[in-house]
Amino acid sequence: MAPWYWANIHTWATALVHLNARVQVQGLEHVPRRGPLIVASNHLSLADPPIITAVVPRRIVWMAKKELFDIPGLGLAFHLFGCLPVRRFEADLGALREARRVLERGLALGMFPEGTRSGRPGMNRAWPGTALLALQTGAPVLPVGIMGSEHIRLPGDIVAFLRLRRYPVRVVIGRPFTLPRPERLRTAQVERATEAIMARIAGLLDPPYRGVYARVVAEAMEGKE
């Protein structure tokens, strides 16, 4: 699968990104080159997975909403790309098991904790799946902040390329961190871990993109003064 990934998935993602965006990346030095990793990002548009795939020097297995796999043609592409289908907004235990297997193989797992794209600047409240996996597996979390991709409307923006229009996008990668593994998982612990992950992501973003986590970032900044 690794040769297929780098020769096909990564190559096509890079080509798609260059058609639609001018990407500026900060923090590539923070990406661990091997070992299990949860890549957690805010989510603005369908362009986010290919953008992050193109810039992060790791093979990323993305979790994607199950509805995408039901679209003729597109669903096959998601299967070939090795994405994991997940039922959003519920406890999809099967998807969590598959995600753990990805991490056990030492791969990077791509997740959007918000569960759906916002389509605009401003983070929404996150679901607990990302924190739950991090607590269960001990895998480090790599926070990623993306800005500007809300202007890209795939696949329609292929037309924008023909007009020689490419949108500026900024990707900021933070330092990886691990959450302490509790002896027994409790709801309150998962909630705190979710807040911690989202605070790290929000801290990488410009203020208009922080949304419901703006207060958490502001409080963290005040605590450092």
Asked if residues 50 and 17 have their Cβ atoms less than 8 Å apart, the reply is yes
Please list the ranges in the chain whose pLDDT falls under 50.
Answer: 157-158, 161-162
Residue 30: per-residue pLDDT: 97
Q: What is the pTM for the complete model shown?
A: 0.84
Residue 161: per-residue pLDDT: 47
Cis status of the peptide bond prior to 207, with omega within 30 of 0: no
Residue 45 tokens, joined = 């548009």
Residue 185: per-residue pLDDT: 81
Residue with tokens 């409240």: 125
Length of the chain: 225
Residue 56 tokens, joined = 């992060």
Residue 68: per-residue pLDDT: 65
Residue 94: per-residue pLDDT: 73
The helix-helix angle for 187-202 and 214-224 (nearest 10°) equals: 80
